[in-house]
Amino acid sequence: MTQERASLSDPKAMRALAHPARLAILNRLGAGVPATATEVAEVAGITPSAASYHLRMLAKYGFVRDAEPRGDGRERLWRAVDEPFSVGVLPDDRPEVREAKGLLIRAVRRAADEEGERALAGLDQEPHEWREATRFSRTLLRVDAAELASLNAEIEKLLRPYAAQHRRAEDAPSGARIAEAQVNLFPHAPRPVPGLPTEDHDAR
């Protein structure tokens, strides 16, 4: 796939997505396997009726759509849309757009942090080869804005063939499972300098 990421700019759509249950549902469907409201409810920790409501809201703003029925077709199946999306803060964003973008970005980061924490907590129970393959890293870069943008494009290009939404299970190697890459590229903001603490040798 060579799809470009669509940049979100509708405040209502971003606010609709910035909900923990909806992000969990979209993450589940992002694995490329259609699911019913009951199936995504288990992942999101909500009731099937609540999941149905959240799915309808996600569909309203174009994040999910109906999938081909299975079996007797009595259950409604959902899937994530094929078009990936991104959120970036722009200098000319209207205040309500900037606020909605900040809300969504923070919600996505919280969900990503929780996923990483779960992975870290369960790492000791993973087979040796998965423990060896897992990495949590942080690298300081010295780049200009164009280089940072180019690096992001290269990373997306590298990850694209492995994206679960478009790589069918039968096309992946035996033993393949859902894994996650979390990429954050950003310039450092000025860090407040608190100064050295005052020494108090009498403090107890």
Whole-number Å distance between alpha carbons of 64 and 56: 8
The domain spans of the chain are 6-136
pLDDT at position 195: 75
Residue 111 CA, distance from chain mean position: 7
The Cβ of residue 28 has, within 10 Å, a number of other Cβ atoms equal to 19
Q: pLDDT 10s digit of each residue in the chain, 204 long?
A: 334 455 788 999 999 999 999 999 999 999 999 999 999 999 999 999 999 999 999 999 999 999 998 877 788 999 999 877 788 888 899 999 999 999 999 999 999 999 999 999 999 999 999 999 999 999 999 999 999 999 999 999 999 999 998 899 999 999 999 999 999 999 999 888 777 777 665 555
Domain 6-136 sits in CATH at 1.10.10.10
Burial of 78 (0-12, 13-18, 19+ CB in 10 A): buried
Residue 202 CA, distance from chain mean position: 50
pLDDT at position 9: 86
pLDDT at position 186: 93
pLDDT at position 2: 37
Beta strand pairing call for 85-86 and 6-7: parallel
Residue 202's contacts (CB-CB under 8 Å, 6 or more residues apart) are none
